[in-house]
Amino acid sequence: MNVRLRLRQSDLQRMEAHARTALPRECCGVILGEKTDMEWRASGIEESANLAPVTCTDRFEVDPALLLRLQKASRAGGPRMIGVYHSHPNGLAAPSQTDLELSWQTGFLWLITAIDGRGMETRAFLRAETEFIPVTLLMQDESA
């Protein structure tokens, strides 16, 4: 299965800036968009506060009030929530065991920005039944 996600360059930049400002903790947020037969398309992101305990540097918790607001907006005709993003201050651009244990919804996209002293790398995954499947990121500039 080859899963693809179209993502705007500006949204990637916002996620990576969020990862930087959240250090030493993880950042998190929601990805909005739609799914077509061929691929997923992100239309925007919403930053969330990380509600995991402040002393935790290896987990995140999206604000449920934000999720509720986005669900209502989606039902009213707004964009769908298609995934979540968060950062890994340990520099590993892959889902952790914690991510697997805490991910509740299959068919949801997970974007992970690995950040460490050397730089950043963002990768996408799809939560399947028992694992995360790598997703090909297709970057798109604003004019497209």
* Secondary-structure breakdown of the chain: helix, strand, coil percentages, each rounded to the nearest 5: 20, 40, 35
Q: Are 98 and 90 in contact (CB under 8 A)?
A: no
Q: Among 16-24, 39-47, 69-77, 94-102, which window interacts with Zn ion (CB under 5 A)?
A: 94-102
- Asked if 57 is part of the footprint of Zn ion (rule: CB under 5 A), the reply reads no
Among 99, 109, 110, 115, binds Zn ion (CB under 5 A): 99
CB of 44 to Zn ion, least distance (A): 22
Residue nearest to Zn ion (CB): 99
Looking up tokens 């080859």 gives 2
The type of residue at 7 is: L
Q: Are 68 and 75 in contact (CB under 8 A)?
A: no
Nearest to 109 by CA among 60, 39, 50: 39
Nearer to Zn ion, 46 or 99 (CB): 99
Among 57, 67, 80, 96, binds Zn ion (CB under 5 A): 96
Nearer to Zn ion, 43 or 96 (CB): 96
How many residues in the shown chain lie near Zn ion by CB under 5 A?
A: 2
CB of 59 to Zn ion, least distance (A): 7
- Residues 22, 85: Cα–Cα separation, whole Å: 13
Positions in the binding site for Zn ion (CB under 5 A) = 96, 99
